Amino acid sequence: MLIPILQIITSIALIVLILLQERSAGTSGIFGGSDEFYHTRRGLERSIFIATIILVVVFAGLSLINLII
């Protein structure tokens, strides 16, 4: 019963982090809509990006554990 609750908490946090990411990093860069040549993540933007990756890995791990159990 603990794993589904952890999955819900992780998914809500993941949704929030994805929504907090910068809007200009979306599909406009694919089609050449951005004037920037190269963009590096710094400060809070980098922290949010790394936290998003960590939460994706945690969510995937919890999903696999839930599948096995």
Is it the case that residue 5 has pLDDT exceeding 80?
A: yes
The band of 35, judged by pLDDT with boundaries at 50, 70 and 90, is low
The whole-number pLDDT of residue 64 equals 97
Read off the pLDDT of each residue in 28-46 and give the average, rounded to a whole number.
67
Contacts by 7-16, CB closer than 8 A, 24 or more apart: 7/59, 7/62, 7/63, 7/66, 10/55, 10/58, 10/59, 10/62, 11/59, 13/55, 14/52, 14/55, 14/56, 14/59
The whole-number pLDDT of residue 33 equals 55
> What is the span of the domain harbouring residue 64?
2-68
The band of 62, judged by pLDDT with boundaries at 50, 70 and 90, is very high
Domain count along the chain: 1
Read off the pLDDT of each residue in 30-59 and give the average, rounded to a whole number.
80
